[in-house]
């Protein structure tokens, strides 16, 4: 058995390399094609949602029952639905609802979770105990069941579905932020800031928050995919977006399921859109993690 010893003092000092987060992300995207693909996919979805009015060949609500359940053709590349609406146009407009629900729900959930996590992690004590037990209670209920219960109480609508999803997201985010804050506040520079009399809000804003944004953004990107799925599930159960608005989940549940055998395109295209969006956000979340986690950056 041999012993290897290292003499730390003999290592030559190297200049500290700092890479901005955007640059790190850019480097990762360039190095990993899947990351680039996911970024391109998200960009496409976002642009589709923004320019839905221009891109959609038909009014997504305009029914032409005479051509109901028409198979995909040149005029209607994704076919038509049960009352003759153009499925492509509905999928394009559905991106707007699904992404809007995803972004807003995750935004609300992330901000609320971050505030709770910051308060709990920074001050700890009784407030932490109370808030975290509340988070425990919320987390004890499966996410979809909780969302279903909230929407059932508030009445089915897109806005209420969004709020329900946000509530589901809050506990997990608050936990992650709380842990990161507790770790960050052990740093000497935080102690130094406290010692020179910096106020708490300033310490939180300038010294702690920057340390917790990376994990929260990564989690948020993954939650975006989940939020779209939950909205789809709520709409699937009749508790999310209401007819005739085109949400991917609603399209899948109402006509997609009912006419699966006669008109499979009614299930395939919205289902595909959900899959692609979820896949895109999940892969992008992975890419963010690779870019911003120093341990994974060079793998």
Partner 1 sequence: MPSTRVDRRQFLTHVAWGTAGLTVASGVRPSRAVAATYPDWIAASTKPPKRGGALARASAWDPPVIDPRLTQSVGLFQFAGLVCNRLVRHPFADEASGPGDLALKGDLAESWQGSADARIWTFKLRKGVKWQNVAPLNGRELTAADIKYCYEGYAKEGVQTFTFQEIEGIETPDKHTVRIHLKTPNTLFPHNLAEPVAVIFPKEVLEEDGDLKKRMIGTGPFTLKEHTRKVRVVLARNPDYFDAGRPYVDQYTILSTPDAATRLAAFRTGQSDIIWLASLSEVETLRKTNPNAIVQAYHNTLTPFGVALAQDRPPFNDVRVRRAISMAVDRQKQLDTVFEGHGILGWGVPYIYYQDKAPTAKDLGPWWQYKPAEAKKLLAEAGHPNGFQTTLFYYEYFPQMTSQVQLVQQDLKRNLNVDVKITKLDYTSYYGRYVEGKWDGMSWGFQSGHAVGLDERTYHYMHSKSTKNFFRVNDTVVDELTTKLRQTSDRAEQRKLAGKIVEREYDQVLRMWMPYSNGFLVVQPHVRNAAAGAMRRTDAYGSPTIARIWLDK
- Site of interaction with partner 1 (CB under 8 A): 34, 61-63, 65-66, 68-72, 79, 82-84, 152, 155-157, 237-239, 242-244, 254-255, 257-265, 268, 272, 275-276, 279, 282-283, 286
Taking the least distance from each CB to partner 1, the nearer of 25 and 116 is 25
Please give the Cα distance from 39 to 29 (Å, whole number). Answer: 8
We find the least distance from the C-beta atom of residue 296 to partner 1, in angstroms, to be 12
Q: Please count the other Cβ atoms lying within 10 Å of the Cβ belonging to residue 297.
A: 15
We find the least distance from the C-beta atom of residue 107 to partner 1, in angstroms, to be 24
Taking the least distance from each CB to partner 1, the nearer of 101 and 250 is 250
DSSP of 97-161, one letter per residue?
HHHHHHHHHHHHHHHHHHHHHHHHHHH-HHHHHHHHHHHHHHHHS-HHHHHHHHHHHH-S-HHHH
We find the least distance from the C-beta atom of residue 283 to partner 1, in angstroms, to be 6
Taking the least distance from each CB to partner 1, the nearer of 112 and 276 is 276
We find the least distance from the C-beta atom of residue 189 to partner 1, in angstroms, to be 35
Helix (H, G, I), strand (E, B) or coil at 21: helix
Taking the least distance from each CB to partner 1, the nearer of 23 and 257 is 257
We find the least distance from the C-beta atom of residue 171 to partner 1, in angstroms, to be 22
Q: How far is CA 74 from CA 67, 176, 213, 260, in A?
A: 14, 49, 47, 22
CB proximity list for 83: less than 8 A, separation 6 or greater: 63, 64, 65, 68
Q: How far is CA 81 from CA 127, 182, 234, 254, 265, in A?
A: 53, 53, 21, 10, 9
Please give the Cα distance from 28 to 5 (Å, whole number). Answer: 35
We find the least distance from the C-beta atom of residue 126 to partner 1, in angstroms, to be 38
Taking the least distance from each CB to partner 1, the nearer of 181 and 267 is 267
Taking the least distance from each CB to partner 1, the nearer of 153 and 195 is 153
């Amino acid at each position: 058995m041999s012993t290897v010893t290292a003499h730390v003092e003999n290592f030559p000092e190297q200049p500290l390399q700092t890479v901005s987060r955007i640059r790190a992300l850019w480097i990762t995207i360039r190095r990993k094609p899947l990351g680039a693909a996911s970024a391109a996919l998200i960009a496409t979805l976002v642009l589709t949602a923004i320019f839905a009015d221009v891109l959609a060949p038909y009014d997504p609500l305009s029914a032409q029952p005479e051509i109901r359940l028409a198979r995909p053709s040149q005029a209607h590349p994704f076919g038509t639905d049960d009352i003759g609406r153009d499925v492509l146009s509905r999928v394009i407009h559905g991106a707007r609802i699904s992404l809007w629900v995803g972004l807003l729900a995750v935004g609300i959930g992330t901000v609320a979770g971050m505030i709770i996590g910051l308060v709990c992690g920074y001050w700890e004590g009784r407030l932490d105990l109370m808030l975290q037990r509340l988070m425990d209670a919320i987390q004890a209920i499966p996410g979809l069941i909780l969302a279903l219960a909230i929407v059932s109480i508030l009445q089915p609508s897109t806005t209420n579905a969004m709020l329900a999803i946000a509530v589901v997201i809050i506990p997990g985010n608050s936990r992650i932020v709380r842990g990161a804050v507790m770790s960050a506040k052990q740093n000497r520079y935080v102690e130094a800031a406290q010692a020179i009399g910096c106020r708490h809000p300033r310490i939180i804003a300038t010294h702690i928050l920057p340390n917790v944004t990376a994990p929260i953004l990564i989690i948020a990107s993954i939650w975006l995919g989940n939020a779209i799925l939950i909205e789809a599930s709520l709409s699937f159960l009749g508790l999310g977006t209401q007819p005739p608005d085109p949400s991917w989940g609603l399209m899948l549940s109402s006509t997609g399921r009912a006419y699966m055998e006669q008109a499979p395109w009614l299930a395939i295209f919205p289902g595909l859109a959900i899959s692609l969006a979820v896949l895109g956000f999940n892969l992008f979340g992975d890419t963010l993690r690779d870019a911003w986690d120093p341990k994974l950056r060079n793998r």
